[in-house]
Chains A and B, each alone.
Chain A
C-alpha cells in the first residue's frame, strides 16, 4: 500500500462504556471523579461522567499504529481536546496523510462523536521504514 498525501486511514470505531472509564482510571492511575462519579461530575457542571482526554488520545494513537503496523515508527503525536464525550456513544477515530517528505509522513487525526463533531483533533508524524 502506498503512503501518499490524501490517503485516508481506516476508521477505528470505539464503544466506550462506564466500565471502560473505571478500567482506564485504574490503568492510568487517574482517579479524578469526573470519570466515574455521576453526582460529582454534575456538581462541576458536566452532564455526567466523561471520557478521559488521554483515553481519546489512546484511541487516536491506536488508529495510527493499527494503520502503520510494522511499516514504520511513530515519532510524535499531538492532540487537542475540543469537546467532551460521554460513555455509551460510539467514538469514531479518523485520519488522513497530509504530507510525505523523505521517509516521514505527517497525518491529521481526529475523533468524532455520533453527530460528527470533532471533539479531539491532532497530528502525528511517522517515520517510514525504508
Chain B
C-alpha cells in the first residue's frame, strides 16, 4: 500500500472547487444573541446584520479533516469582509465557499500551513451581498 500524498498536496488539489452551497435565514433571535455575545447594543443590529455576523450564518471554513493531520492546532490568521448590500432579518442567504490557496511557511516555532478560503454570500435574488476571505493556519 503506497503512502497517501502529503496533506498539502491533497489540499492543493481542492483549490478552486466550490463546496456545497448552504442556505440559512437571518433570524431575529440569532441577531440578538450574536449582538449580545459581542457586546454591541447598537439598536440597528436587532434587524440588520452587524459587520461580522455572516460568519455565524454558514461555516466559515470548508470542512477539511485532512488538514488536521498537519500540526496540532488551528489559528485564525485574518479575515477580510466586503459588503455589497445590507443583510437584514428574514433574508435567506446562501453561502458558497472554496479554497483559494494552500502553502507552507517556516515560522520561529516550526512549520505552519496556511489555508486561504473565500466565501461568497448571495441573497434570494442571486445577488452577491458579501464576500469573506479567511486565513486559517495549522501549527
Contacts and interface: CB of A to CB of B under 8 A. Distances in A.
Interface of A: 14, 20, 23-24, 26-30, 32, 34, 44-46, 52-55, 57-59, 61-62, 64-66, 73-81, 122
A24 B40 CA distance: 12
B111 interface: no
A79 B55 contact: no
Interface in B64-112: 72-83, 86
Contacts of A55: 38
Which secondary structure dominates chain B's binding surface? mixed
Contact of A65 (B33, B36, B37, B42): B42
Interface of B: 30, 33-34, 36-40, 42, 50-52, 55-56, 59-60, 72-83, 86
Q: Nearest 7 A-B pairs (CB), nearest first? A: A61-B51, A53-B76, A44-B73, A27-B37, A80-B78, A58-B38, A78-B80
> Most B CB atoms within 10 A — which of A26, A32, A46, A61?
A61
Given A34-B73, A77-B51, A20 B37 contact: yes
B50 A65 contact: yes
Nearest to A123: B80
Contacts of A23: 33, 36-37
A14 B33 contact: no
Contacts of B56: 27-29
Q: From B30, B33, B77, B81, name the one whose CB has the most chain A CB atoms within 10 angstroms.
A: B81
A73 B42 CA distance: 15
A29 B58 CA distance: 9
